[in-house]
Structure 1
Amino acid sequence: MAFPKITIDTLVAAPLDTVWTAYTAPAHITRWNFASDDWCCPSAENDMRVGGTYKARMEAKDGSFGFDFEAVYDEVSPKERLVYTLGDGRRVETTFTPESDGVRVTTTFDAEGMHPLEMQRDGWQSILDNFGRHAASL
């Protein structure tokens, strides 16, 4: 099944090592992996190897809704690229590209069919922006 692809990115004013650690370490993931201040990420697990799993719990702070975001890694190239497949078969690729003023983090993901593309793009971009702010603060 072909899914529409959406690409988002952010430029993080931090060294590559810092950006990579902030993006992949569960202790950091729980600090940025949510789209708005009324959501949180109370737990995260990250087994970064081909066939390893990524799991992040995402919840509304008021307890009204929550879900596990889960994936299996297809490719892990440290400090360069991560590719994983979600449970419904959609793929996600994130690259880390050093630039003169920081690291460009770019994610391309297969959109799902339930929500408008713009809503998906905005939600994922908001999470990536949270990540960028967190990584730059380290």
Structure 2
Amino acid sequence: MTKSNRKSITIETVISASLDKAWEVWTTPMHIVKWNHASEDWHTTHATNDLKVGGKFNYRMEAKNGNVGFDFWGIYDEIHFHQIIRSTLGDDRKMEVRFFQEGSKIRVVESFEIEDENSEELQRKGWQAILDHFKSYTESLNN
């Protein structure tokens, strides 16, 4: 990840899936809306993804009770198919996702610069929960 003055957090998971499947589920809007939530009272109502350098992604995240929502978006800085995605988020933070083939499994390692509004621990837990939902959803597609 590009160096900056902001502190970053790294989280990861190991998925029982092919690299093709993990990449597809991470980058395809019809899948993103199924796994991109930190808790069961939130969901992603709409996702767009123009997966190219300079392309934009936008995930509309809302509380299921409708009281609050926000657009999680960014611009892609670097993409290496099946390996790495680097982007700059809408608030200028950097994010990086790496995919590693490990035998029949895929390790997904995600690093992101923290924001100032929420505690580091809350951010770590929230992003890890999303990554855990990604794992569960992706593995459910293998059955």
- The TM-score, its normalising length taken from structure 1, stands at 0.98
In the alignment, is residue 98 of structure 1 matched against residue 90 of structure 2?
no
Select 2:49's aligned residue among 46, 49, 59: 46
CA deviations over 1:69-111 (Å, ceiling 9, x no partner):
0100000111100000012210000000011241000000000
**Cα distance, 1:5 vs structure 2:** 0.6
Structure 2 unaligned blocks of 5 or more: none
Select 2:126's aligned residue among 123, 128, 131: 123
**Cα distance, 1:137 vs structure 2:** 1.0
Number of the residue aligned with 1:59: 62
Q: Which runs of 4+ in 1 moved over 6 A?
A: none
Q: Tell me the percent identity.
A: 44
Kindly tell me the number of residue pairs found equivalent between the two proteins.
Answer: 138
Instruction: Calculate the aligned-residue CA RMSD, in Å.
Output: 0.8
Select 2:24's aligned residue among 1, 21, 24: 21
- The TM-score, its normalising length taken from structure 2, stands at 0.94
Paired amino acid for 1:83: R
Structure 1 unaligned blocks of 5 or more: none
